[in-house]
Amino acid sequence: MALREIAKSIIPRSQWSAAYVDAMPTMRHARGAARWGGVAVFGLFWMIGDDAFKWAAGVGGEEAEE
């Protein structure tokens, strides 16, 4: 159940405009966002695994100096 449907079942109809119920994402939008999020995560891990993006794997870590 999407956020919009949950809100419509909880919030009284007279207050829908004040709570922006119709502006909340539908289930179709939630699935689309999850799909693109998965693509982004896959792309990020693919880039980190590529030799050209090895610097991204070490971001935030300390480098050992010899």
CB 41 within 8 A of CB 48: no
Cβ neighbours of 62 (radius 10 Å): 6
CA distances from 18 to 5, 21, 24, 25, 54 (A): 16, 8, 12, 16, 49
Q: What pLDDT, on the 0 to 100 scale, is given for residue 45? A: 80
CA distances from 61 to 22, 56, 57 (A): 44, 10, 9
Q: What pLDDT, on the 0 to 100 scale, is given for residue 61? A: 58
Q: Which pLDDT band, with edges at 50, 70 and 90, does 1 fall under? A: low
Q: What pLDDT, on the 0 to 100 scale, is given for residue 11? A: 85
Q: What is the pLDDT of residues 4-60, one digit of tens each?
A: 788 888 888 888 888 788 777 778 888 888 889 888 888 888 877 777 666 666 666
Q: What pLDDT, on the 0 to 100 scale, is given for residue 51? A: 74
Report residue 61 CA to chain centroid gap: 25
